[in-house]
Amino acid sequence: MKRVVIFSFIGLFLLACNRSPEHYYEKGNKLYFSGKYLEAVEMFTKALIINRNYPEVLNSRGLAYEKLRDRQKAENDFKKAIEYSPAYMPSYANLSGMYMDLSVYGKALYYLNEAINKNPDYAHAYLNKGIINYKINDPAQAYDDLSKAIELDGKLESALYYRAIVLNTLGNPIKALDDLNALIEFNADISLAYYERGKIKFKFGDYGAAIQNFKASTDITPKNAVYHYWSGLAGYRIKYYERALMEVQESIMLMPEFSLAHLLKGDIHFSMKDYKLARSEYMKTKKLDPENFGIYDKRLRLVNSRIKRSERQIRSKG
């Protein structure tokens, strides 16, 4: 029985070898992009049985392992790809990206610097370095890295987006708008670009333009509670109370425990003189965010005084 099993395994192995590694690599990629990550791993493994020194396959299998949340195997494959082919840049980017997701920024920067040493013109390495430096609160270095990425690849959308964020952080919202405008010109379907542009317009007090941008964000990504909240907030600032209320209610429907949205809803009701509804929202907000009870208590005192005044007026007329 043992001999049959061994013979059968050898037969299957030889049959596999009749196919090229490229055949299995292509099948693996199709499975990967169909979301069938485990099956993709099997195809990539067959390719590597035939040719273990195949960095593209190792890189792709690493991505599949990462989707399967087996980060140890993903890390091993990315490192093997780099070992076998130090000039193959995607593995540096993917390995550093995995470390970035885990907030292991030191290791991520190490491999990004290695990539740049091998290929000083690799724009994605500067992009990831810029993102890391932004996250570790070094916006000046982040700006330099992201600017280098854009210099190497002017249509690198993520670099434009993050440089806009960094420029705004550095106190230069006008240049940030330039990057966001360029990004939207390249790709009009990035909801985050409209959202960030809307926040800058809001900061400048241009609430009408802010609403237009937040609406564009919600049109692209309608189930984002934060976009609806900001749209409601901009509407509230220019006293479009009905529209603001509609947006904030959508925000709460999407995220029922969104304390800021409940607070805004309370403020809208207060401005519309629906004091009891305002009080209800302030009480919900206080329950959701007890650490900032003082803010809500102040509003509750004010709204309670308005309710009492209204009740006195009704009694006096009666």
pLDDT at 128 over 80: yes
| Alpha carbons 85 and 42: distance in angstroms, whole number | 22
Domain assignment present for residue 305? The answer is: no
pLDDT at 18: 54
Question: What tokens were used for 291?
Answer: 């650490």
Domain assignment present for residue 68? The answer is: yes
- 146-150, 162-166, 302-306: least confident range: 302-306
Domain assignment present for residue 59? The answer is: yes
**Angle between helices 293-317 and 259-271 in degrees, nearest 10:** 30
Residue 38 structural domain: 15-85
Q: What is the pLDDT of residues 31-43, one digit of tens each?
A: 999 999 999 999 9
Domain assignment present for residue 93? The answer is: no
**pTM as predicted:** 0.84
Domain assignment present for residue 57? The answer is: yes
| Alpha carbons 284 and 151: distance in angstroms, whole number | 50
How confident is residue 318, by pLDDT bands cut at 50, 70 and 90? low
- Phi then psi for 217, rounded to 5 degrees? -60, -45
Q: What is the pLDDT of residues 262-303, one digit of tens each?
A: 999 999 999 999 999 999 999 999 999 999 988 999 999 999
How confident is residue 13, by pLDDT bands cut at 50, 70 and 90? very low
pLDDT at 54: 94
Q: 210 near 219, Cβ under 8 Å?
A: no
Domain assignment present for residue 281? The answer is: no
pLDDT at 118: 96
pLDDT at 177 over 50: yes
Provide the domain count of the chain.
1
Domain assignment present for residue 208? The answer is: no
Domain assignment present for residue 303? The answer is: no
In the chain, pLDDT over 70 holds for what percent of residues? 94
Q: Which is it for the CA torsion 225, 228, 230, 233, positive or negative?
A: negative
CATH number of the domain where residue 64 is located? 1.25.40.10
